[in-house]
Chain A
Amino acid sequence: DSGVTQTPKHLITATGQRVTLRCSPRSGDLSVYWYQQSLDQGLQFLIQYYNGEERAKGNILERFSAQQFPDLHSELNLSSLELGDSALYFCASSSIAGPTDTQYFGPGTRLTVL
Chain B
Amino acid sequence: DQQVKQNSPSLSVQEGRISILNCDYTNSMFDYFLWYKKYPAEGPTFLISISSIKDKNEDGRFTVFLNKSAKHLSLHIVPSQPGDSAVYFCAAQAWEPGNTGKLIFGQGTTLQVKP
Chain A residues within CB distance 8 Å of chain B: 2, 4, 31, 33, 35, 40-45, 48, 50, 55-56, 58, 90, 92, 94, 97-108
Contact = CB atoms under 8 A, between A and B. Distances in A.
Main secondary structure of the interface of B (DSSP, over half): loop
Contacts of B44: 43, 90, 105
Please list the 3 inter-chain residue pairs (A to B) with the smallest Cβ-Cβ separation, ordered nearest first.
A105-B43, A42-B105, A43-B105
Contact of A99 (B43, B46, B95): B95
Given A98-B99, A99-B31, 10 more contacts: A2-B45, A35-B103, A41-B107, A45-B104, A56-B98, A90-B43, A98-B100, A98-B101, A99-B99, A101-B101
A92 B91 CA distance: 14
Interface residues of B, number: 29
A55 B99 CA distance: 9
B42 to A, nearest CB: 6
B74 interface: no
Given A42-B89, A43-B89, A103 B99 contact: no
Interface in B23-81: 31-32, 36, 41-46, 49, 51
Interface string B72-115: 00000000000000000101010100111111111110000000
